[in-house]
Amino acid sequence: MSTGMSAKDVLDLIQREEVRVVDLRFMDFPGLWQHFSVPADTLDLDTFEEGLGFDGSSIRGWQSINESDMLVKPVASTAFIDPFFTAKTLVMICNICDPITGEDYSRDPRNIARKAEAYLKATGIGDVAYFGPEAEFFIFDDVRFDQTSHSGYYFVDSSEGIWNSGRDEQPNLGYKPRYKEGYFPVPPTDSQQDLRSEMMLKLIECGVPIECQHHEVATAGQAEIDMRFAPLVRMADNMLIYKYVIKNVARKANKTVTFMPKPLFQDNGTGMHTHLSIWRAGENLFSGDGYAGFSQTGLWAIGGILKHAPAILALSNPTTNSYKRLVPGFEAPVNLAYSSRNRSAAVRIPMYSKSAKSKRLEFRCPDPSCNPYLAFSALLMAALDGIENKIDPGEPLDKDIYDLAPEELAKVPTTPGSLRESLEALEKDHDFLLRGDVFTPDVVETWIDYKMENEVTALDLRPHPYEFALYFDI
């Protein structure tokens, strides 16, 4: 994604590259990218100031039908050439505005992230927060699912899946990663190197800096492509480009990608470990001479994140499926503690480098089903609350969690066990999000209501296939 481009630069780029279509994109409330397109020759300087109208009542979690008109205002600095469309197409990410007042829309996730960045500066604590999410995903060959009044099932498949080791593939050549052994065998066991490399190079082509790509732990095409860290809003923008490019490269190869946290039973789930550091005047505020090379400011930030973690999870782990991954007793980061080495702790201080510039915390709970604008904003707001109120994170959890005595383990708080519990935590603990008008009461209330009605209750009403195995003969 380009940076520093002005509206005039974008118009010049359209002429120079002979762009024919301009695609305008924005994020709906739950977290899916939306778009519509206009002929490139209809774009002028006024478009960037005045915006273009659309029906906000058709977007999930937004306006009611009697106040449906909204405006999209393209952000010139987000422009990139789409690598997938037949007609040459330039993409821009947009901000959402009210057509009458001209104000930024409170439920536009990108607006919330922009306000979080502004609030950081207003506190005087720092001037930039860098985020580095490590988003994982699965590449499948086939997916089928359905739910009716009398049936319900899902089926996913992959040529890499170890369950296909006995399938007649005429011929079956073997080399399928065993459960929990997908990290890091070379080809032919890793059959998707070329596909991931194409994803990586397409992302770079779209202006998203990439650090590495690799197969992940699970069988059946689990993968990770790591982006280089960036400021909050830009990283959330990049996260949307990331998902878009990966899904479309897979589709071109007649494969499909899911960012669901737990699509497979009895193998590793899909997380999005998120790295955070706060800087002021070019100085990393988290670097110091305390525990694991952290500063007192950094430890207070961890204190804020641990205190508010149950509420944060309503935004960073916002699906019912998220809590199939966050299960105690496994490798999942469910312990609300911090450590420099213990990967079952919710917050880790990576020890890859002792450089002051690289010092950051890693919040290990999130998964890529989240709306990144909301999740990153909530994480920053919790860290700032910890710094402002000097919240003590307690002692680090450096012992092996599996070796702790039951009475010692009982003292370690854990993450919520379900989306319902996380939403209830958010309902009780959201004042830290409201500071600086970053999140508004309307946003928090709408998020809780939408998730409860459309996901939590909707799932509660439906029988689960495994319930038939447990109970049909009673």
CB-based contacts of 201, cutoff 8 Å, min separation 6 = none
**Residue 110 CA: distances (Å) to CA of 29, 162, 185, 368:** 10, 41, 39, 17
Residue 210 CB contacts under 8 Å (≥ 6 apart), including other chains = 200, 203, 204, 225, 226, 227, 228
Catalytic annotation, pick one of 28, 108, 117, 134: 134
Question: 55 catalytic, yes or no?
Answer: yes
Among 190, 198, 224, 367, the active-site one is 224
Active-site residue (options: 141, 160, 216, 455) = 216
- Give me the catalytic one of 108, 141, 362, 385: 362
* Cα–Cα distance, 341 to 361 (Å, whole number): 12
- Sort strands 33-39 and 152-157 into parallel, antiparallel or unpaired: unpaired
421 is catalytic: no
Number of C-beta neighbours around residue 237 at 10 A: 25
Burial class (CB within 10 angstroms; exposed 0-12, middle 13-18, buried 19+) of 13: middle
Q: Is 292 left (phi over 0), alpha (psi -120 to 50) or beta?
A: left
9 is catalytic: no
Task: State how far the alpha carbon of 214 is from the alpha carbons of 160, 161, 181, 211, 316, in Å.
Answer: 15, 17, 13, 11, 24
Residue 445: active-site member: no
388 is catalytic: no
Q: Which of 167, 343, 462, 464 is catalytic?
A: 343
Whether 136 is catalytic: yes
**Of these residues, 273, 275, 308, 348, which one is catalytic?**
273
Determine the residue type at 422: S
Query: Of 364, 367, 385, 455, which one is the catalytic site residue?
Result: 364
- The answer to whether 273 and 367 are in contact (CB under 8 A) is no
205 given a catalytic annotation: no
Q: What count of residues does the chain have? A: 474
- Asked if 343 is an active-site residue, the reply is yes
Neighbouring residues of 89: CB distance < 8 A, sequence distance ≥ 6: 19, 20, 21, 22, 23, 37, 81, 82
Selected catalytic residue, list 28, 82, 108, 136: 136
Is the Cβ–Cβ distance between 235 and 372 less than 8 Å? yes
20 is catalytic: no
| Residues acting as catalytic residues | 55, 134, 136, 216, 224, 273, 343, 362, 364
